[in-house]
Amino acid sequence: MISDTPLFAFIGMEQIVPIAVFGAFAIGAFAVMNMFAVEKPRALERLEEYKNPIRRKRKEEDESAMKKQDAMTRMLAMASPALAAPLQPTNEKEANKLKQKLNEAGFRNEAAPAMFLSLKVGMLVIGLVFSGAGVMLFTEMSQKNIMAAVAVAGVMFYLPEVALHFIGKARKEQIFLGLPDALDLMVVCVEAGLGLDQALRKVAEEMKRSYKVISDEFNLANFQLQVGRPKAEVLHDLGDRSGVDDLRQLAAILIQADKFGSSVAQALRVQSESMRTRRRQLAEEKAAKTAVKLIFPLVIFIFPGIFVILVGPAAITMIRQMFPAMQG
């Protein structure tokens, strides 16, 4: 009998019926999902990827991008419009200023301003929660402690602004340092017979490993040229969105060379030489400031140690010999 077997020793008929019904439903659902599934076998997918390398590369890039976008980023993107509503710019000038800051830091998504403002609001709330909890749990509720908690929340509120400033500054420095090399390579491409858009594409491909920021800027400009935007507008945007004066000058020179029909290679060579001269002058200026900047660590950290080593033994000898004599 079934009840005498070890498998059903502790299971009655009342428990077997629900388990059987659940198993039947699970098998049926799996069969229906298998029937309506449109995915191809993995072997066929791999064959199609090898037939079309561009599609395979695009798929790999999409998969890596989706892996990088974690759940926190998606949640912030969904909640950003509601959180950023109190800090939305009141006029177009402020909106353009915020967008320019984000562009200089490399954040060019349409949702970047809303996400940035929502991040500021979120940091303010986090600062208020943690500082208020610290005041209530570890200190007494006084006016001084409450003002300190508000100050901590204010610092947290402006922390994204500081981070955005440093990110933009680092990006500008990378563009400034790598632009002379990019111009030299562009001169070679133009003198070899390539057009401006082909030269931009070639420079972007070659500098992807060394200066990725310049590669991204040139790729975006080349994409805009392929879409059909006028060359003058593309070059003007190239110099304007980065916030680097040298790139603005390069864009102006290329616009003038294209407008008046002058030699683009000669203009690029002159601009490259002027940028290298400026970079060398900045290096010499920093080297000249080194002696002045070394005074503070010398006085604060090194000079006290030297003073103790040189004067310490003499001071100890004087204390041992003069104090007993003075007392006697």
Q: End-to-end alpha-carbon separation of the chain, Å?
A: 114
Sign of CA dihedral 26, 30, 36, 37: positive
The predicted structure's pLDDT at residue 1: 43
Domain locations along the chain: 15-68, 121-293, 299-327
Q: How far lies 75's CA from each of 10, 250, 284, 310, 311, in Å?
A: 47, 40, 48, 63, 63
Residue labelled with tokens 């199609």: 48
Give yes or no for a contact between 49 and 55, defined as CB atoms under 8 angstroms apart.
Answer: yes
Cα separation of 105 and 112, whole Å?
11
The predicted structure's pLDDT at residue 194: 80
Residue labelled with tokens 């503070």: 296
Cα separation of 254 and 24, whole Å?
72
Residue labelled with tokens 């616009």: 255
Residue labelled with tokens 């009342």: 14
Residue labelled with tokens 């449109």: 38
Task: Return the ∠ at Cα 43 (arms to 42 and 48), rounded to 5°.
Answer: 95
**Which has the closest alpha carbon to 176: 298, 105, 276, 75?**
276
User: What would the pLDDT profile of 164-198 be if each residue is shown by its tens digit?
Assistant: 889 888 888 888 888 888 888 888 888 888 877 78
**Which has the closest alpha carbon to 173: 243, 270, 276?**
243
Residue type, 77: A
The predicted structure's pLDDT at residue 314: 82
Give yes or no for a contact between 155 and 144, defined as CB atoms under 8 angstroms apart.
Answer: no
Give yes or no for a contact between 149 and 181, defined as CB atoms under 8 angstroms apart.
Answer: no
Those residues of the chain that have pLDDT short of 50 are: 1-10, 36-39
**Token pair recorded at residue 259:** 């407008």
**Which has the closest alpha carbon to 224: 93, 62, 108, 115?**
108
Cα separation of 322 and 328, whole Å?
10
**Token pair recorded at residue 328:** 């006697």
CB contact set of 237 (below 8 Å; sequence gap of 6+): 221, 224
Give yes or no for a contact between 177 and 136, defined as CB atoms under 8 angstroms apart.
Answer: no
Sign of CA dihedral 223, 219, 95, 72: positive
**Which has the closest alpha carbon to 19: 4, 7, 33, 35?**
7
Cα separation of 12 and 5, whole Å?
12
Burial class of 194 by CB neighbour count within 10 A (0 to 12, 13 to 18, 19+): middle
Q: What is the pTM of this model?
A: 0.62
**Which has the closest alpha carbon to 103: 90, 112, 94, 93?**
112
